[in-house]
Chain A
Amino acid sequence: AQSVTQLDSHVSVSEGTPVLLRCNYSSSYSPSLFWYVQHPNKGLQLLLKYTSAATLVKGINGFEAEFKKSETSFHLTKPSAHMSDAAEYFCVVRILTGGGNKLTFGTGTQLKVEL
């Protein structure tokens, strides 16, 4: 079955240092993968998407993710964290069904950014 595993439930970084949020996927075919962000008391926002084009995907707010088939990974990175990046991040895989799409979410990674 197709699924995603977010390896860390909480990540804490200092402002200005790199961010790495890890996601591994399981899929029997070439997957479509996404990262979403949810700021406190706000709705979910699409950060970036991979749909079998370039393996390095750039998103909003300086985030990017690299699809690595050999490692079945889709880790989210940012070179320099900002206080405004503090939020919960979800890795998502798209599963094709007979009728349409099903989006399966990971359990989330809470990112804390400290001064």
Chain B
Amino acid sequence: DVKVTQSSRYLVKRTGEKVFLECVQDMDHENMFWYRQDPGLGLRLIYFSYDVKMKEKGDIPEGYSVSREKKERFSLILESASTNQTSMYLCASTPDRDLPWAFFGQGTRLTVV
């Protein structure tokens, strides 16, 4: 089974802190994604990556950055956390361009106080 693992299930951070969310997949997938999920808004794409060191902005990249130094790991960085970034963050991966269905991690519930 494909496994997508997010480093934390719950995080509480203070406003202004730099926050790192880590995601690891174990199936050599090319594509990795970060979404945030908010009630009534569905999942909104923050950033995605289709190869090591390659990234593209999603629909809501402001206030976030990403890093993909190794194929299996995709990190989401909140440069200076704000209360409006309180949300559920979901990481996903897809095998490649021709196999586009995604496998999701369990999510990280981030609260910024």
Kindly identify which residue among A32, A90, A102 contacts B42, using a CB–CB cutoff of 8 Å.
A90
Q: How far is the CB of A66 from chain B (nearest CB, A)?
A: 18
B54 & A99 in contact (Cβ 8 Å cutoff)? yes
A42 to B73, CA, bound (A): 22
A45 to B101, CA, bound (A): 10
B61 within 8 A of A: no
B102 & A107 in contact (Cβ 8 Å cutoff)? no
With known contacts A9-B40, A103-B45, A43–B105 Cβ distance under 8 A: yes
B56 & A107 in contact (Cβ 8 Å cutoff)? no
What residues on A are CB-neighbors of B40 within 8 Å? 9, 107-108
Binary interface profile of B, 54-75, with partner A (CB < 8 Å = 1, else 0)? 1010110000000000000000
A107 & B41 in contact (Cβ 8 Å cutoff)? yes
A103 & B42 in contact (Cβ 8 Å cutoff)? no
Query: Which range holds the interface residue count of chain B?
Result: 20 to 34
**B-contacting residues, A74-115, CB 8 Å:** 90, 92, 94, 96-97, 99-108
What residues on B are CB-neighbors of A63 within 8 Å? none
Given known contacts A34-B101, A44-B104, A100-B50, what 17 new A-B pairs fall within 8 Å (CB)?
A: A43-B105, A43-B107, A45-B104, A46-B103, A90-B42, A97-B50, A97-B56, A99-B51, A100-B48, A100-B51, A100-B56, A100-B96, A101-B31, A103-B45, A103-B102, A104-B45, A108-B40
Chain B interface residues toward A at CB < 8 A = 30-31, 33, 35, 40-45, 48, 50-51, 54, 56, 58-59, 90, 92, 94, 96-97, 100-107
